[in-house]
Structure 1
Amino acid sequence: MRNFPFRRARLGTVAVFALAGLLFWISFTVSRGNNIRTDDSLLQMSDLIRERERQNDALESSAARLRSEVAALTERDSGTDPEQALRLDLAETAAGLSELTGPGLTVTLTDAPRDAEPLLPGVPEPTPNDLVIHQQDLQAVVNALWSGGAEGVRIMDQRLISTSAVRCVGNTLILQGQLYSPPYTITAVGPTDRLRAALDDSPALRNYQSYVAAYGLGWDVEEHDSVTLPGYEGSVALHHARPVEPGN
């Protein structure tokens, strides 16, 4: 009877190896020979966004080089026709493709501190969404500036054009393939008195101001006697959906 513990231990060892083999087979079956630790389905959205940003940076560098070549050829071919050159300059200015200088202002929006507490009596405790800048806040500023007579608008370091889209994932801004974190700066060239009045008259921004007072969201407006906006340097190609042909 002394050898019973030994047999029990030996049987236990066999059972452990059998179980390990079963788990290995299940893992192989699930992964189908792939590395399940690096499967694309396990990547977080932020990782995908950063990877796309790296791709966009490479494409943008190539596009900038090609635009420089096109600009040089355009200048060479239109140099003998002053009227044509003037029309081209006016078109580029209207489209936001050329540098713009003039009086203007800059609006800065900032998240509130994460541990912010109500600053006014009777205000409820904030939720996380109450303390961060949202897509609609940025859009409200841009819309107000355009309505106030802005000749050009820049968010962070990028000039806006007619096809620019302001999108946010969480509190991260995605603009024309680039990622930005707060504080966000929006600069406009135009009549400063009208721009300020448009900001004050915006219902969406009046709502934002209530959160500034209640929880400490950041809001600052700085006027400039002269400010320069760079021309837009991204692609101006338009992309659109096409209907599926019957039978496809």
Structure 2
Amino acid sequence: MVEYTSGTSSWRKAVLRAGRAFTRLPGRRRSGWTLGVPLIAAAAGLLFTMSATVSAGTSLREDRRVALGELISKKEAETQDARMRVDQLRNEIDGLTDALAVGDGPVAQEHARGEGYLSAAGLTAVHGRGLTVRMDDAPNSADDDLTPGAATQDDLVVHQQDVQAVVNALWAGGAEAMTIMNVRVITTTAVQCVGNTLLLDGKRYSPPFVISAIGDPARLQAALDASNGVRAFRDAVRDYGLGYSVTREADIQAPAYQGSVLLRHASVPR
């Protein structure tokens, strides 16, 4: 039985053994195997020793998916706490600003000017007619209906680019306000997917994804029909059984945007 130990002593012994192998049988011609086997053995011993030292008794191929899920859940809880703190501070600032504007003319003037921008920035609740788009993964039973080799599991789920295609088409169709999963989105909102879930303002949402846009229903529908990305998703709906529906709504309620309005980068179009 061969015993491997950590530290430098074991690999030094392996090198010495390899060196002695080179000096054996001085009267005979050495073949390629005679020279190669000791080198391979020495390299293997060195790798085993380094692995034992680095692992320190733990598994080097440990499944980290569980740890990643716990990390995401922890960050979501931290985000929720931070959001509550932000709402509290925002209410305090609004109260102090309103109180100061009562007796200060310049402050009252700037306060009134700022109020005029809130609606355009998506910071006030609005409502009106428009469209609601629903996107969903294919049912699990769809796996049994696929021809072997014709599709993969990725073909059966809604991807980030699919949601982005719908959102961009609705903006292009003149949407005045938009929500995803009843969360107000603005022009700087990023659509991100983690696996088959949607990440929006630090919170995860599972399909079906519901996107509502306030605007002229006819223009919004025409923009969806003209979008190459939306057409590609509708082809997947036809081929793989994903969910897609568009409904006209008489009155869509869009709450005020509650996320951060901090702008980190901007450029002027030329």
- TM-score, normalised relative to structure 1: 0.74
Query: Where does residue 3 of structure 1 map in the other structure?
Result: none
Q: 1:54 to 1:144 in 2, by over 3 A?
A: same
Q: 1:181 to 1:42 in 2, by over 3 A?
A: closer
Larger RCO (CA under 8 A, 6+ residues apart): 1
**Which whole-Å CA distance do the structure 1 matches of 2:65 and 2:148 have between them?**
40
5+ residue gaps, structure 1 = 1-14, 241-248
2:223 maps to a residue whose letter is: A
Matched, 1:109 2:135: yes
Flag the structure with larger Rg. Answer: 2
**Which whole-Å CA distance do the structure 1 matches of 2:100 and 2:112 have between them?**
13
**Which whole-Å CA distance do the structure 2 matches of 1:75 and 1:57 have between them?**
27
Q: Shift of the alpha carbon at 1:140?
A: 0.4
Range with greater deviation from structure 2 (76-85 or 166-175): 76-85
Contact in 2 for aligned 1:97/1:232 (Cα 8 Å) = yes
Query: Where does residue 117 of structure 2 map in the other structure?
Result: 91
Query: Where does residue 10 of structure 1 map in the other structure?
Result: none
Contact in 2 for aligned 1:119/1:214 (Cα 8 Å) = no
Specify which of 207, 231, 240 is matched with residue 256 of structure 2.
231
Contact in 2 for aligned 1:117/1:126 (Cα 8 Å) = no
Contact in 2 for aligned 1:152/1:190 (Cα 8 Å) = yes
Secondary structure (helix, strand or coil) at the match of 2:120 reads: helix
Q: Shift of the alpha carbon at 1:201?
A: 0.9
Q: Shift of the alpha carbon at 1:191?
A: 1.1
Query: Where does residue 74 of structure 1 map in the other structure?
Result: 97
**Which whole-Å CA distance do the structure 1 matches of 2:220 and 2:264 have between them?**
32
Question: What does residue range 33-182 of structure 1 map to in structure 2 within 5 Å?
Answer: 43-78=66-101, 84-116=110-142, 125-182=150-207
Matched, 1:218 2:243: yes
Identity of aligned residues (%): 43
1:107 maps to a residue whose letter is: V
Q: Shift of the alpha carbon at 1:71?
A: 2.1
Matched, 1:185 2:210: yes
Q: 1:202 to 1:97 in 2, by over 3 A?
A: same
Q: Shift of the alpha carbon at 1:237?
A: 2.2
Secondary structure (helix, strand or coil) at the match of 2:116 reads: helix
Contact in 2 for aligned 1:79/1:85 (Cα 8 Å) = no
Contact in 2 for aligned 1:118/1:214 (Cα 8 Å) = no
Specify which of 210, 220, 231 is matched with residue 195 of structure 1.
220
Q: Shift of the alpha carbon at 1:41?
A: 6.2
Quote the RMSD (CA, aligned, Å): 3.4
**Which whole-Å CA distance do the structure 1 matches of 2:178 and 2:194 have between them?**
22
The count of residues paired between Structure 1 and Structure 2 equals 218
Secondary structure (helix, strand or coil) at the match of 1:228 reads: strand
Range with greater deviation from structure 2 (39-48 or 140-149): 39-48
Q: Shift of the alpha carbon at 1:146?
A: 0.4
- TM-score, normalised relative to structure 2: 0.69
Contact in 2 for aligned 1:97/1:233 (Cα 8 Å) = yes
2:181 maps to a residue whose letter is: M
Provide, for residues 126-184 of structure 1, a one-character-per-residue CA deviation record: whole Å limited to 9, x for no partner. Answer: 31011000000000010001000011111113211233111112111111111111010
